[in-house]
Amino acid sequence: MYGGGNTFESVKTDSIAQEDPIQLGLFEARIERGEKIEPTDWMPQLYRKQLIRMIEQHAHSEIIGALPEGTWITRAPGFKRKMALMAKVQDEVGHAQLLYSAAETLGKPRQKMIEDLINGKSKYSNVFNYPTFTWADCCFISWLVDAGAIVNQLANAKGSYGPYCRALERICAEESFHLKYGHHCVIYLAAGSAKQRQMFQEAINRWWPPMMHFFGPSDKISTHTQVLMKWKVKMGTNDDMRNQFLDMYVPKIWELGFTIPDPNLIKNQETARWNYTEPDWEEFKRVINGDGPCNKERLEVRRIAEERGLWVREALKSPKAEYVLPLA
């Protein structure tokens, strides 16, 4: 689950000027033709750097994203939900595994990425810095946060880097289960008792602001990413993604008789764009920089998991082993 290009570094285009113009020309022509870039190809340093950054953030978002829902694995009501949630959270770990591998083909070892996560050097999706108070919060994530992630991932799957596209293809196939499962849970809450309905309404009220943040800052204030769009690293603007999500899911939420805590939320039929109250981007920045309700816990849990597993990994490491980059 991943919200999109919300933490790209500002792009210093002067680094491109230092690249070999002939190689750069071939590289850009290849992307222009719609051919994928594979790990052994020549690529500009900036392309490599930004891709590692993006795929790594995506991977971190999956492994951290396993925590807020993981909370409910031991409490899911009934066999059907229990098994589905176990499988769903497992998939998030699996997605992290696939994505770290894709990033690793670009030259950054997985262990280094995990260390950078724990040290707070690299980011993950902001949405997972919020707590899941009830089962309904967990259902909100399974349905709507995953829905948002799918919007983003389907776009990214059309990007230029082969290993990332392959990973995303597999991930998207698995996400369709998450989405259906999440919607199924919510339909049952909606059609259930007053208490069940209230649980989900409260979840929407809590999660709507982080959900709007999920796609990243408004295009009006976000970093200029034209060259990344040209290289098919970034595949859509934050506002486009947000609009696509609103278009697909707001009617489904309303259909179930729930309200969304934004009085200005309405579709402009002429422009086909949604109007909404501008999300609080100051809060977004605060949370991404570490000051959210759960940032500390998420990283702490990840760190404890790494430390508890250290003896297992250390025991089996072989000093003779010769590391090569994974192939694809």
Residues 30-49 that bind other proteins (CB under 8 A): 30, 33, 35-38, 40-41
Distance CA 56, CA 272 (A): 34
Confirm if 37 and 27 have CB atoms less than 8 A apart. yes
Nearer to other proteins, 31 or 287 (CB): 31
| Angle at alpha carbon of residue 36, lines to 32 and 167, rounded to 5° | 135
- Least Cβ distance, residue 44 to other proteins (angstroms): 17
Specify the DSSP class assigned to residue 15: H
Which residues in the 268-297 window bind other proteins by CB under 8 A? 297
Residue 28 in contact with other proteins, rule: CB under 8 A: no
Nearer to other proteins, 102 or 242 (CB): 102
Choose one: 92-100, 120-128, 201-209, 273-281; the region binding other proteins (CB under 8 A).
92-100
- Least Cβ distance, residue 210 to other proteins (angstroms): 16
Residue 197 in contact with other proteins, rule: CB under 8 A: no
Confirm if 265 and 242 have CB atoms less than 8 A apart. no
Q: Using CB under 8 A, which of 83, 221, 248, 266 touches other proteins? A: 83
Residue 254 in contact with other proteins, rule: CB under 8 A: no
Number of residues that bind other proteins (CB under 8 A): 101
Nearest to 216 by CA among 277, 99, 125: 125
Confirm if 25 and 32 have CB atoms less than 8 A apart. no
Residue 316 in contact with other proteins, rule: CB under 8 A: yes
Q: Which residues, 6 or more positions from 66, have their beta carbon under 8 angstroms from its beta carbon? A: 89, 92, 93, 96
- Least Cβ distance, residue 51 to other proteins (angstroms): 15
Q: Which residues, 6 or more positions from 224, have their beta carbon under 8 angstroms from its beta carbon? A: 10, 11
Residue 258 in contact with other proteins, rule: CB under 8 A: no
Confirm if 53 and 122 have CB atoms less than 8 A apart. yes
- Least Cβ distance, residue 8 to other proteins (angstroms): 23
Residue 92 in contact with other proteins, rule: CB under 8 A: yes
Q: Give me the residue label for tokens 């953030």.
A: 57
Residue 110 in contact with other proteins, rule: CB under 8 A: yes
Choose one: 7-15, 105-113, 236-244, 263-271; the region binding other proteins (CB under 8 A).
105-113
* Residues belonging to the chain: 328
Which residues in the 168-187 window bind other proteins by CB under 8 A? 170, 173-174, 176-177, 179-181, 183-185, 187
Q: Three-class SS of residue 192?
A: coil
Specify the DSSP class assigned to residue 217: S
Burial of residue 309, with CB atoms counted within 10 A of its CB: 0-12 exposed, 13-18 middle, 19 or more buried: exposed
- Least Cβ distance, residue 12 to other proteins (angstroms): 29
Choose one: 76-84, 116-124, 211-219, 225-233; the region binding other proteins (CB under 8 A).
76-84
